[in-house]
Amino acid sequence: MAVDVLTEIVIDRPRGQVAAFAGEPDNAPLWYVNIKAVEWKTSPPLAVGSRVAFLAEFLGKRLAYTYEIVSLVPEERLVMRTAEGPFPMQTTYTWESTSERSTRMTLRNEGEPAGFSKLVAPLMAVAMRKANRNDLQRLKGLLEAR
């Protein structure tokens, strides 16, 4: 069973500011509750082909995975993919101006679980949706407080 979780939020900041902050891997631990550490496997700045490793905790498990940037349109879209582990995943961020001062950000996680993960995919989707909503709310709070 494939997992496809899409969440979005409107942040009262211009698109350039939202995209610059959210699209910077080093900022991920600031707004993703589950991400504990980030390590560049290629030299910054972020570009197609860049590889970034993340250490996370999700559903009581410690996860280490490396994303490769597969698409990057500055201030519009960032797509990263990992083929590692029991749950290969693609994460997509999009940014769209809703006014001069606000931005709709979407966060989409898609994947095809394998092995045991396949059995718990429906539960994972529910947990991911909740975590993504919380993470986007945290991002909104951080950016709007600036």
Could you say which DSSP state residue 25 is in?
Answer: G
Query: Lowest mean pLDDT: which of 8-12, 34-38, 71-75, 111-115?
Result: 111-115
CA distance 81 to 90: 4
Predicted TM-score (pTM) of the model is: 0.92
Strands in 35-40's sheet, in edge-to-edge order, are 3-11, 103-111, 89-97, 77-82, 61-73, 51-58, 35-40
Domain 3-144 fold? Alpha-D-Glucose-1,6-Bisphosphate; Chain A, domain 4 (3.30.530)
Tokens of 14: 């211009």
What is the per-residue pLDDT across 6-38, written as a single tens digit (0 to 9) for each?
A: 999 999 999 999 999 999 999 999 999 999 999
